[in-house]
Structure 1
Amino acid sequence: MSQFIDDVNQRTQLVGQNRMELLLFHLGGSQTFGINVFKVREVIPSPPLRQIPGSMSVVRGVATLRGGTVPIIDLARAMGLRGGAGAGDSDAQKVVVTEFNRSVQGFWVSAVDRIVNVNWQDVKSPPRGTGRESFLVAVTEIDNKLVEIIDVERVLSIVNPLPTEVSASLREDAVTDNARKVVIVDDSMVARKQIESAIKGLGFEYLVFKDGQEALEFLEQTAAEGPVRDVIELVISDIEMPRMDGYTLTARIRDNPALKDLKILLHSSLSGEFNTDMVRRAGADAFLSKFNPDELAAAVLDQTGRENQKPE
């Protein structure tokens, strides 16, 4: 398995090319699911677990991995699928160890398939009516079969809800005139709600888009009607999104003379030096790891210059 997920850092050449790699797996049935490889630390056989009294039913227990304690979440149970990921061949069951939103957790799955390389343009919004669309960020087709890409931030929010309120001191520091809006771009429903709450706490008005292509089309239309900076204060964009990722969105904005002066804050559940480097290369003004409402608020105030100047 170490050769299967050998070294995620070697895969960073895909970043900025509107491409990603998906780890494919199953949750006790025939449906194939996927998760962005950049969120994956490693894939391991099912480890021994210690039970936590009073824990939620979706948490199978905790495991000691590389000297740390990691909660192991039954992904199928968290999504409300029958049987849970424990169904099927016990030898095939794996734990996908992930790192995002500044935390490490394992997802229990019934079987791991393989890694595939896909273009974000081939990744679409999830169809309605599946009964689990609230847990999906997107779908794509591989080998003529539908692959459902899981919103792991949504799953994690069930087990470990994150605060969304901005502290009173930062709210008091904000100076807003509501003349211009903040554009929020994120494919995760949970992430959008978190960002909306923080932005609303500062007194900004905002517009929300689910992917980079949708946001770019709006910005281009706005620019066609007049100076875009008269309407838009700041663009806050996720990086990993269907159709057009945040790096590509940033590059397209910088390449457009009517949009190039917009302030752009890239906001991702992924951390690491490669993100910081790609932010500079793509032309964004700042990068922030998800999710701390006060850090986001401070970054917004810094980028917009809307912080009260306190007397010395």
Structure 2
Amino acid sequence: MAGILDGVDQRTKLAGHNRFELLLFKLAGRQRFGINVFKVQEVIQCPALTQLPKANSVICGVAHLRGKTIPVMDLSMAIGLQPIDREANNYVIVTEYNRSTQGFMVSSVDRIINIGWDQVNAPPKGAGREGYLTAVTRFEEELIEVIDVEKVMKEVIGGSEEVSEGVLADNIVADNANDHVLIVDDSSVARNQVKRVLEQIGIRCTLLKDGLAAWEHVQELKEQGIDVPSYYTMIISDVEMPRMDGYTFASKVKEDPELQGVYLILHTSLSGVFNTAMVEKVGANEFLAKFKPDALAESVQKQLQAFHANSSS
């Protein structure tokens, strides 16, 4: 598997063109799954793991890599499938999500494919694993399932959605009763995490599943004669989404003279310097790494103050 992630810099050029690369792998069966290469730091042969007493049964143990200790999860168990045979010659996909590093044990790693987000769709309703999928796509006449890693991590590792005392501004709930925010994310867990933070600030929310749905939504508002920059205090959008990614959505919004006044935050589990550069390239107002309730609340409240100041002037 050495070298599978070589040339990641070349892959970053796909972002903003509604394209991405998907690392394909298998769990405890023949079905192939996928994960965005952007979230992958490396793929390694499964090392010796140190067991953790009283750990979640999904956590196989911890690995010691380059001075870091990272948890390694059985991704098959995490989405309700049979456990991976831990005596087999398995691999670990080392990823960075939501400002943390973790490994996912898989039985095999296949290849990297280059596809457009417009080739990626929401999972079919009624699929047994639908709750753990954010998207599906087809490759070599086979359905590839993209796992909702944020849902997995919330269930296995947990995390608070409460904003800390002292972060909420005085009387913030009463002041923001008329504010309205559009949340765009393909993960139901991520959508509701953002919604719960905004509800603590007293803000109404509209939730949509991907960039294309959001783009069609704001176009419909325009057709109804609604001034979108006044209707929505801000838009908070994920980057990785089927049909239309967040970079493309942000770029289209900011290129539209009637929409470019909307404050748009790209809120993503993808991290790194690259995202700051992409925010500038597509014209988004801010980049915020998932998921820190206090950081999100502080960013939202700062924009609320600016929005109200502009409205009253």
- TM-score of the two chains, using structure 1 as the length reference: 0.94
Secondary structure class of the residue paired with 2:13:
helix
1:117 matches 2:122 = no
- The letter of the residue matching 1:190 is V
Q: Structure 1 residues 307, 282: CA separation in 2 closer, same or farther (over 3 Å shift)?
A: closer
1:202 matches 2:198 = no
Out of 81, 100, 104, which is 1:107 matched to?
Answer: 104
After TM superposition, where is structure 1 displaced by more than 4 Å over at least 4 residues in a row?
A: 306-309
Q: Which moved more, 1:219-228 or 1:230-239?
A: 219-228
Per-residue CA deviations over 1:88-113 (Å, capped at 9, x if unaligned) read: x923x211111110111110001110
Per-residue CA deviations over 1:26-57 (Å, capped at 9, x if unaligned) read: 01211110000011010001110111010111
Instruction: Tell me by how many angstroms 1:190 deviates.
Output: 1.3
Contact 1:185 1:211 in 2 (8 A): yes
Q: Which residue is 2:260 aligned to?
A: 260
The aligned runs of 1:151-230 (5 Å cut-off) are: 151-173=148-170, 174=172, 176-225=175-224, 226-230=226-230
Contact 1:180 1:205 in 2 (8 A): yes
- C-alpha separation in 2, matches of 1:7 and 1:51: 34
Out of 84, 88, 98, which is 1:90 matched to?
Answer: 88
- The letter of the residue matching 1:48 is A
Instruction: Tell me by how many angstroms 1:86 deviates.
Output: 2.1
Per-residue CA deviations over 1:222-241 (Å, capped at 9, x if unaligned) read: 12222123311100000111
Secondary structure class of the residue paired with 1:155:
helix
Q: Which residue is 2:281 aligned to?
A: 281
Contact 1:212 1:245 in 2 (8 A): yes
RMSD, aligned α-carbons? 1.7
**Number of equivalences:** 306
Secondary structure class of the residue paired with 1:14:
coil
- C-alpha separation in 2, matches of 1:171 and 1:279: 26
Contact 2:233 2:307 in 1 (8 A): no
- Consecutive unaligned residues of structure 1, counting only runs of 5 or more, are none
Per-residue CA deviations over 1:142-197 (Å, capped at 9, x if unaligned) read: 11100000011111112211211112323334363433310000011111111011
- C-alpha separation in 2, matches of 1:177 and 1:286: 21
- The letter of the residue matching 2:208 is F
- C-alpha separation in 1, matches of 2:238 and 2:269: 8
- Consecutive unaligned residues of structure 2, counting only runs of 5 or more, are none
Contact 2:176 2:201 in 1 (8 A): no
- C-alpha separation in 2, matches of 1:8 and 1:2: 14
Contact 1:86 1:109 in 2 (8 A): no
